[in-house]
Structure 1
């Protein structure tokens, strides 16, 4: 799938300039922004650039709100706080290639898939309700991971629909509070506007904002689990929306037919193992939702933890296409507090982290290791390999290079899991 591109450049409370880009980037910085339209085949993608580096619409929106950024002379009057393209602050704020789905074929591809896995499944139709329509796929059956997850008190308890105040974070029902984000524990908040049965506008909350009426309030789950709630009604130009709905001051489920529990397991059988001698920070994108890499996993030395592999048949579909989970791997010495939120580009952490992991299920499980490109060409300061009971090929990242059955490259590699379990080993 191809997208038209509008490239915008940023500057610190100064200006925004213009430069053409061949690929949709996703980044952060502060100073000046450029713009240019690159016609390709349909949808329009707005890109932002600051000091020669890509930044996200989310970053631009927050910078403009805080009077730290402005457009340079001659730049178009594009509002970064509006969901004006298939890849905007509300659809792909982090370095997640959310609007550029990559098809996973029946054989392992030579390059790693990004956030999305394409299939021929038809898209769900939006409800005509004045409230956000809830989705109704069949309940998923999940396999328990072999390692236990920490936190998540009440993870097996049904959520009391419409009873909790929007100011009450649902930590008694499996959700993990992320206090470091300054959003009342939520992993992301989206203020949505409905029009013509779709979400026509999304404003992503910034530090200090609240879960209030009219908002979709997303949350983190324990290791091995993922959120179960998102509405059928999604963004009009491909933006994703997820979490509980705050309506009339109360929190409501948006996907009760999938589960009345806030956190569910995936298909199981995928883990991460740390052999580095120190804790590392792995961050999953909050998807569907803000798509920022805010879902933390602190992986201790000599520790094995489950990663969530979404059930391709029952988990979130992007325009009818199966989606996968994407994780950001931060360098040594990075805490989850620092690595699992927006970075400013001064360090290779957060959305600037060097390496992504892809985990998805579509007629079997598919695991990938790939460069966080075009966001950064930075190399990770340790190695990663995929080990398993029965893999369809090999894939490792070692000394800054990706190696698979087809050779060595700078972009990434993917393997299928033929049977049994598989593990990303950090060494």
Structure 2
């Protein structure tokens, strides 16, 4: 079994981006139905009960530590139990370097087996001894905040439960490097982020939320990035499919902030413009060469060549209008499904 990339590998035709919205979208529905997605459990008749505490290793960041998760990058009602895998977050710009080396495909339940292993005796096992706990990403994409308040970029935990628990707070007028993985990362998957509205804290935005607020899994915009072996970085921004669902109370409301991809050297970039601008676009519209992903969310992708750098910029903008139902008369959920192609890496 070989790992294959499931997010943002742009094929040779340049017309189809592979993304992880299918997995994320299915996980969202599982959570809504009250289903729990736990780490690997080892069946043992005489296994002791207990939990492993979050360690203090270089680069590791405790998240939502007030819940049962105790700082692990797990749901707030989960704990790092004996006989389970316990994912963790790293500092902005860094990636976790530990996961189950036997988990070699992006499929459930293997996609849950990230982090350290809490064995049946309550000892934390480091599964990949040659890897650091946290290591620097490729450094080719940063988040730029041109809005008036701080913006929470919340990265999903993968391998793990894919909740948006890994925080990067970008203060107004500043930039922060985002964690961009290369092909050495688990199953060559990319990083995936939820972009919250300016003024939303990481404590409010980087967790599983509810329809009472357009934050966390209900945030309107998502982004992703990765780099291939040819030093091409793929940067994606798009609409969060959950924001567009009938059950979402905000589905017809255009946010008051936008996102766009910019390049330090535009000669090294293709796919520009790639923007969601409330003064120009309606709900589920993008500027540039957009496509529709799983769940009907529109997105655009920029290819950044030769190790050049790009930014995902957040800016404030007045809304053009609410959702134009006549423009979206053919509901994207009734459209033909997006064809997902994958590249097998030998």
| TM-score when normalising by structure 2 | 0.68
Partners of 1:347 and 1:354 in 2: how far apart?
11
Offset at residue 391 of structure 1 (A): 1.0
- The 8 Å contact of residues 387 and 423 in structure 1, kept in 2 or not, is answered as yes
Q: Deviations over 1:176-214 (max 9, x none)?
A: 1112444111111xxxxxxxxxxxxxxxx652x432311
Q: Secondary structure at the match of 1:333?
A: coil
**Is 1:249 paired with 2:249?**
no
**Richer in helix (by share):** 2
Partners of 2:161 and 2:290 in 1: how far apart?
36
Partner residue, 1:324: 190
Partners of 2:157 and 2:118 in 1: how far apart?
18
- The 8 Å contact of residues 194 and 221 in structure 2, kept in 1 or not, is answered as yes
Partners of 1:176 and 1:236 in 2: how far apart?
25
Partner residue, 1:222: 91
**Is 1:402 paired with 2:286?**
yes
RMSD across aligned positions (CA): 2.9
Partner residue, 1:116: none
User: Gaps (5+ residues) in structure 2?
Assistant: 5-20, 44-49, 245-250, 316-346
- The 8 Å contact of residues 85 and 114 in structure 2, kept in 1 or not, is answered as yes
2:185 aligned residue (309, 315, 340): 315
Q: Secondary structure at the match of 1:58?
A: helix
| TM-score when normalising by structure 1 | 0.55
Equivalenced residue count is 260
Offset at residue 403 of structure 1 (A): 1.1
Partners of 1:237 and 1:354 in 2: how far apart?
26
- The 8 Å contact of residues 355 and 380 in structure 1, kept in 2 or not, is answered as no
**Is 1:295 paired with 2:166?**
yes
Equivalent residues in 2 for 1:364-379, closer than 5 Å: 364-376=232-244, 377=251, 379=254
Partner residue, 1:423: 311
**Richer in strand (by share):** 1
Partner residue, 2:53: 168
- The 8 Å contact of residues 195 and 223 in structure 2, kept in 1 or not, is answered as yes
Equivalent residues in 2 for 1:168-317, closer than 5 Å: 168-178=53-63, 179-188=65-74, 206-207=76-77, 209-234=78-103, 238-239=108-109, 240=111, 241-247=113-119, 248-257=121-130, 259=131, 261-312=132-183, 314-317=184-187
Partner residue, 1:154: none
Partners of 2:275 and 2:233 in 1: how far apart?
17
Q: Secondary structure at the match of 2:31?
A: helix
Partner residue, 1:361: 227
Offset at residue 255 of structure 1 (A): 2.1
Partners of 1:407 and 1:183 in 2: how far apart?
38
Equivalent residues in 2 for 1:328-347, closer than 5 Å: 328-347=194-213
Offset at residue 250 of structure 1 (A): 0.9
Aligned CA distance change for structure 1 residues 254 and 90 (closer, same or farther; 3 Å): same
Partners of 2:174 and 2:211 in 1: how far apart?
29
Partners of 2:82 and 2:303 in 1: how far apart?
43
Q: Secondary structure at the match of 1:310?
A: coil
- The 8 Å contact of residues 285 and 325 in structure 1, kept in 2 or not, is answered as yes
Partners of 2:168 and 2:179 in 1: how far apart?
11
Partners of 1:357 and 1:264 in 2: how far apart?
21
Offset at residue 281 of structure 1 (A): 1.1
Partners of 1:228 and 1:383 in 2: how far apart?
32
- The 8 Å contact of residues 54 and 62 in structure 2, kept in 1 or not, is answered as yes
Q: Deviations over 1:261-284 (max 9, x none)?
A: 211112222101111121111100
Partners of 1:407 and 1:384 in 2: how far apart?
14
Q: Deviations over 1:290-337 (max 9, x none)?
A: 11011111110111100011012x1111xxxx3111000112221111
Partners of 1:237 and 1:267 in 2: how far apart?
25
Q: Deviations over 1:104-128 (max 9, x none)?
A: xxxxxxxxxxxxxxxxxxxxxxxxx
Q: Deviations over 1:44-79 (max 9, x none)?
A: x7x8xxxxxxx5323433xxxxxxxxxxxxxxxxxx
Aligned CA distance change for structure 1 residues 375 and 90 (closer, same or farther; 3 Å): farther
